Chains A and B, each alone.
Chain A
């Protein structure tokens, strides 16, 4: 039997990542790159990078990538897809980008049934700006701007974006994954693949939320963060397919 060889997907550049130890971005970048390779769509894929740590995604993926203003990737992706409908267009957005400043853009892109894929990285904090409360910060969670923990009376409840979007008619596929085990990582990849296929089949809008780790932002070690996502975060953000029509 031949030994399994570890190779980089063609859709990843041969660069070092700028991400912190234990960060989930590198894993998701690779999953997307693997799926793009497997579907043989690298030469027609255009990615939209967010504001946040993953803005540098254009230095990591080996296909066309643009930046976008904070929260606006779904509008930018719309502008690309409408004039180049045969290209594969996706946005890669964090929780602050997608669930706070960009709520209008994501809701309306979803509601239009915009034929794009959205990969939503939920790590419960604003990582790049040093770990402030995000819309998805869970109740009681301590962050830079909730030093005593998130309080419902002051900050409200964590926003369940996927549940919110799944009721819209233009939305065809919604799933939530986590990166907490090899099995969950493979499920995340399966959902990413399904999202791209939804677009390739011209079915409309799809979103994959990925519960990710930001050890620096949540102020835990990488292992503690992984365990915290696996035991605490999934209680509020249950994993699985929310919609597939």
Chain B
């Protein structure tokens, strides 16, 4: 069915179609449409909607629902996600699946309420204390927000790990036509064996009692737990990288961008192609796991990369790690809620060509 949807509402509809059981959140701009929509719709569907007293409470309510095996979601924007980091660390330590949305705004501190991509580091480096990762998805269209929301539970449950969906405030507020019948934007998560639920707490009826914990005090026990988590992260890196290539086949210069920056970059790519400049775009869809080897393969042929971000340069560090010194990496970006512009980007590319 074709619908005209706002980015934030597409998230809600995707999450409902994906089987959400409960949603907990605290108000913050620019993602309030999500709470408003769920407040109205979830009670009609006999699902849980609860406005929490803080982001700390919201993420811990998610923790409580997740440990029962039910599908829990929270959404927030940058400062609120900062407050949730303790909870996210516990969710990862306890290996509880859930879905967390960050509709990013400008920072640091209270910043502003404009769209931004300033939480790349926070999202892809764990964000809280300890050695851990969340799976980070970066949609670049309203359709992708819908599809990612819908499939994110499967990804979370497959690996017993939180999934973060991050997009900027612009994408959250933007409206586009979404056709739920078409396949574009799907993650195509492969469930190759039944998802194990023999860990959930739902009362020890006809079974031994279970416990959920991230505390491992016995000698060597935590180290073993960390190695176990690493094996899981390695498997995610091997199986779940998603990346899209545009006009890279004959490109002599490559842009790397995600989310809204990738949309603007795509416009620049098509304009420059008309001028005869052989340029392409790589768009990481999973920011963690990051497509290191996919970018490295292209860097063997292409020697100039431009990273475009709505921040002071965060993903550029991963691109540099990916090209590993065999190509030059340039940067164009705007922090503080400024939207990158295709004309500025075109000038930047011409200056380094």
> Is chain B a partner of chain A in the same complex?
yes
Bound CA span A62–B203, Å: 11
Task: Looking at the assembled complex, report how far the CB atom of A56 sits from the nearest CB atom of chain B, in whole angstroms.
Answer: 8
A-side contacts of B301, CB under 8 Å: none
Give the residue name and chain of the B residue nearest to A85 (CB): B48
**A64, A66, A83, A108: the one within 8 Å of B57 (CB):** A108
**B22, B57, B203: the one within 8 Å of A63 (CB):** B203
Bound CA span A65–B66, Å: 14
The winner among B62, B65, B201 for most chain A CB atoms within 10 A is B201
Bound CA span A111–B212, Å: 27
Task: Looking at the assembled complex, report how far the CB atom of B206 sits from the nearest CB atom of chain A, in whole angstroms.
Answer: 8
Task: Judge whether B201 and A80 touch: CB under 8 Å.
Answer: yes
**A61, A67, A72: the one within 8 Å of B213 (CB):** A67
**B72, B86, B204, B206: the one within 8 Å of A79 (CB):** B72
Q: By DSSP majority rule, is chain A's interface helix, strand, loop, or mixed? A: helix
A-side contacts of B132, CB under 8 Å: none
Task: Judge whether B53 and A43 touch: CB under 8 Å.
Answer: no
Indicate with 1 or 0, residue by residue over B54-87, a CB within 8 angstroms of chain A CB atoms: 1011101111111110101000000000000011
Task: Judge whether A65 and B211 touch: CB under 8 Å.
Answer: yes
The yes or no answer to A82 lying at the interface (CB within 8 A) is yes
Task: Judge whether B64 and A75 touch: CB under 8 Å.
Answer: yes
Chain A 91-116 residues near chain B, CB threshold 8 A: 104-105, 107-108
The yes or no answer to B147 lying at the interface (CB within 8 A) is no
Give the residue name and chain of the A residue nearest to B214 (CB): A67
With A75-B60, A75-B61, A83-B21 known as contacts, the answer to whether A67 contacts B209 (CB < 8 A) is: no
The number of residues on chain A lying at the interface, defined by a beta carbon within 8 Å of a beta carbon of chain B, is 35
Task: Judge whether A82 and B209 touch: CB under 8 Å.
Answer: no
The yes or no answer to B170 lying at the interface (CB within 8 A) is no
Give the residue name and chain of the A residue nearest to B211 (CB): A58
Task: Looking at the assembled complex, report how far the CB atom of B321 sits from the nearest CB atom of chain A, in whole angstroms.
Answer: 32
The winner among A59, A80, A82 for most chain B CB atoms within 10 A is A82
Task: Looking at the assembled complex, report how far the CB atom of A197 sits from the nearest CB atom of chain B, in whole angstroms.
Answer: 18
Bound CA span A83–B57, Å: 16
Bound CA span A68–B64, Å: 9
B-side contacts of A124, CB under 8 Å: none
The winner among A46, A68, A75, A81 for most chain B CB atoms within 10 A is A75
Task: Judge whether A104 and B50 touch: CB under 8 Å.
Answer: no
The 9 A-B pairs with the shortest beta carbon distances in the complex, nearest first, are: A79-B64, A75-B60, A79-B61, A58-B211, A108-B53, A44-B203, A66-B212, A43-B205, A76-B64
Q: Can you offer 11 A-B residue contacts whose CB atoms are under 8 A?
A: A64-B202, A68-B63, A75-B60, A75-B64, A79-B62, A82-B61, A83-B22, A83-B72, A105-B57, A108-B53, A108-B57
- Taking A64-B210, A80-B201 as given, write out 20 further A-B residue pairs in contact, using a Cβ cutoff of 8 Å, ordered by the A residue number: A43-B205, A44-B205, A61-B209, A62-B209, A64-B202, A65-B212, A66-B213, A67-B214, A67-B215, A68-B63, A72-B60, A75-B64, A79-B24, A79-B63, A82-B64, A83-B48, A83-B68, A84-B68, A104-B54, A104-B57
Identify the A interface with B (CB < 8 A).
13, 42-46, 48, 55, 58-59, 61-69, 72, 75-84, 87, 104-105, 107-108
